[in-house]
Structure 1
Amino acid sequence: MNVLHNLVERLERLESLDKAALPLRAGIGRAVRPRIVRNLLSGTALGHALHPVLTDLPIGAWSMAALLDTAGPAAGPAADLLVTVGIAAAIPTAAAGLNDWSDTRGPESRVGLAHAAANSTALSLYAVSLVARRSGHRRAGRALALAGFGVLMAGGYLGGYLGYAQGVKVNRTAWRRGPAEWTSVLAETELAEGQHRRVRAGEISVLLVRDAGRIEALDSVCSHMGGPLEEGTVANGCVTCPWHGSTFRLTDGNVVRGPASNPQPSYETRLQDGQIQLRARTPAAGRY
C-alpha cells in the first residue's frame, strides 16, 4: 500500500476532527434544507452529482494560470484573468461540495473535512495572489499562486479518495439488477392499501407499495447512500429515505428531492393467480 494511502487511512481514524465537523455539518444542513437549494447543489436535474462537474472549472483555470505564469510578462494579463475565473468558479464548487459532505459520517466525514480545508486554503492563497498581482507585486503573486496550486493538488487527491476509495456519492443501485422475466414476490393478500413491504426479487430487494389502488415497485436501497427505503415514509405518491431525506416518486423512481441525484430503479408490476409479480421495465414501459 502506498504512502499517501497510509496517510489518508490515518486521517480516517482521527476522531478529534469530529468535534469540528459536527457544528459545521449542522449549519450546512440548515442552509441546504429548502428543496430548491438541495436539488440544485445535489445535481438532481443532472442525474448525477454536481460537485465533480464544477471542480473542472477552478482546477482548469488555475492549472492554465500556473502554466502562463512561467511564460513571461506578456502572458501576465491572461494568467491574472484565469486566476480570477478560478476564484469565481471555486465558490459554487465549494457550495456543492459542502452539500455533499453534510451527508457523510465517520471516516468519510473526516477525509471530506480535510479536503474542504485544503481547497479553502488554496482559494485563500489565490485570492491573496490576485490582490498582489493587481498591486504590482507580480513575483509575490506568482509565488502565492504556486503555493495555492500545490495545496489544490493535495485537496484533489483527497477528493479522488472520497469518490474512488470511499465511494461517496456513488450510485448505490448501479450494479443492482432485478429479474427480466415476471417473478412472483408476494401474495396479493399480504399487501393491503396504504401498506409497503420489502421483498426479494431474484438477487435484489425491492420495496412494494400499494398506493391509490396501484402496486408500485422500487429498488429498496436508496441510490444516494444505500439507506433502507422500507424504513422510510410513504406519502403523496412518494417515498422518503430515512437517512438523508431523499424523496422518490413511486411511479417511476424519479428524484423529487435530493440529496439523491440518481433516479431509483423502478419495476413493472402485475397481479397473476393471486400473486404480485414484477420485472425490470422494458423500453416500451418507460425508464429502466
Structure 2
Amino acid sequence: MQTVIRDIEGWSSLDPLSGKLAGWVEKVTAPRLVKNALSGGWLGHQLHPALTDVPIGAWAMATVVDAIGGEKGAEVSRQLVGVGILGAVPAAWTGASDWSSSYGPEQRVGLVHAITNSAGTLLQVASWVARRRGRHGTGAVLSAVGLGATGAAAYLGGHLTLVRGVGVNHTAFQEAPGDWTDVAAEVDLVEGTPKRVEAAGVPVMLVRRGPRVLALSAVCTHAGGPLDEGTLTDDDCVECPWHGSQFRLTDGAVERGPASVPEPVWEVRLADGRVSVRTR
C-alpha cells in the first residue's frame, strides 16, 4: 500500500487539475469568517477529522443493520445512509478548505483522497435511491461498496496526517526553555520588523511595538512556515507567508485560518540592553 501512495505522491500530472481546484476553493473560502469556521480555529484543532466520523459511522452502521436486520431493518439502514450523506457535505467542505492550503505530494494524495471519498458518497446516494424504491438488496450492496471506497479514502487521509504531518501542530515537539535565555541586543530590533532568533535551539520571532517587545514561536503551527518572514498587520497580527494564517502578537491566538492551533507565546525581559525570553 505504501508503494501505491508513493506513486500517487509522484503523480505530477495531477498538479494542473489540483492547482486549479485549490485556487477555486481558496477564492470561495477567502473571507475570514468562512476560513475560520472551516479550519476549526474556534475549536482548537482541525474540524474536518471530527466531522468525518458522522458519515463513516452512519454508513458503517447501515451496513451492519443490513447484515443482521434483514427486511425489518430496511428503513433504519436507509435512514442511516441518509444521515451519512447529509454529514458528508460539511465534512467535504472542511476537508476542501484544509486541502487547498497544501501543495506538492500532499496535495496530490489529497486530491485522490477527495475523489475516492466522492465516489463513496455517490455510491451511498445511489444506495439511498435504490432503497427508497424498495430495492433493499441492491441498496445494501451499493452501501457496502461505497463504505469500502470511503475506507480507502480514510487510509489516504491517515497517511496525510500521520505520515506527511498535514494538520499536525508543527511546534508540538519543540523543547522550549523555561529559564530566561539571552537571544539578542535590544538595539538590533527595528520597530515593525520581525527578527528571528533562537532560544536553546528553538526559533523565536521578536517584534518591537513601541517600548514593548513581543515574542512568538517563529514556526507556524499550521505547516511550519517562517513567521519572521511574514507580514505584520494593522491589528497587531503576523501573517504567515506560506498560507496566510494570522496570529495575534499579544497572545498567539488564531485570527485567521487555515491554522487551527494558537502560536506559542514567549515572555520577554529587557535588561541592560539585552533581550531575554522564556516560555510562558
In structure 2, the gaps of 5 or more residues are: none
The letter for the 1-side match of 2:279 is A
The normalised TM-score by structure 2 is: 0.97
Alignment of 1:7 onto 2:4:
yes
Residue 245 (structure 1) aligned with residue 244 (structure 2): yes
Residue 177 of structure 1, CA deviation: 2.9
Give the TM-score taking structure 1 as reference length: 0.95
- Kindly state the Cα deviation for residue 178 of structure 1 after the two structures are TM-superposed: 2.1
Count of paired positions: 278
State the 1:57 CA deviation. 0.8
Equivalent position to 2:228, from 216, 226, 230: 230
Measure the CA separation in 1 of the matches of 2:184 and 2:104.
37
Query: Does the CA contact (< 8 Å) of 2:194 and 2:229 recur in 1?
Result: no
Specify the code of the residue in structure 1 equivalent to 2:276: Q
Give the 3-state SS of the residue equivalent to 1:125 in structure 2: helix
In the TM superposition, residue 192 of structure 1 has moved relative to its aligned partner by 3.0
DSSP-derived class of the 2:266 partner: strand
What residue ranges of structure 1 are gaps of 5+ in the alignment?
Answer: 282-288
Query: Offset at 1:188?
Result: 1.0
* Structure 1 residue 139 displacement after superposition: 1.4
Give 3-state SS (helix, strand or coil) of 2:267's partner. Answer: strand
The sequence identity of aligned pairs, in percent, is: 48
Q: Write the letter of the residue equivalent to 1:29.
A: E
SS at match of 2:173: coil
| Secondary structure, aligned partner of 1:69 | helix
Distance (Å, rounded) in 1 between the aligned partners of 2:2 and 2:108: 14
Residue by residue over 1:91-133, the C-alpha shift from the partner in whole angstroms, topping out at 9 and shown as x without a partner, is: 0000000111101111111110010001000110100110111
Match for residue 87 of structure 2? 89
CA apart distance, 1:211:
1.3
Contact 1:193/1:213, CA 8 A, preserved across alignment: no
Q: Distance in 1 between matches of 2:241 and 2:252?
A: 16
Q: 1:192 aligns with which of 181, 190, 193?
A: 190
- 2:92 is paired with a residue whose SS is helix
Offset at residue 208 of structure 1 (A): 0.1
Residue 146 of structure 1 and its aligned partner are, at CA, apart by: 1.2
Task: Kindly report the root-mean-square deviation, in angstroms, between the aligned alpha carbons of the 2 structures.
Answer: 0.9
SS in 2 for 1:141: helix
- Distance in 1 of aligned mates of 2:149 and 2:190: 58
Select the residue among 66, 70, 81 that pairs with 1:69.
66
Match of 2:34? 37
> Matched residue of 2:220: which SS?
coil
2:127 to 113, 126, 129: 129
Contact 2:59 2:147 in 1 (8 A): yes
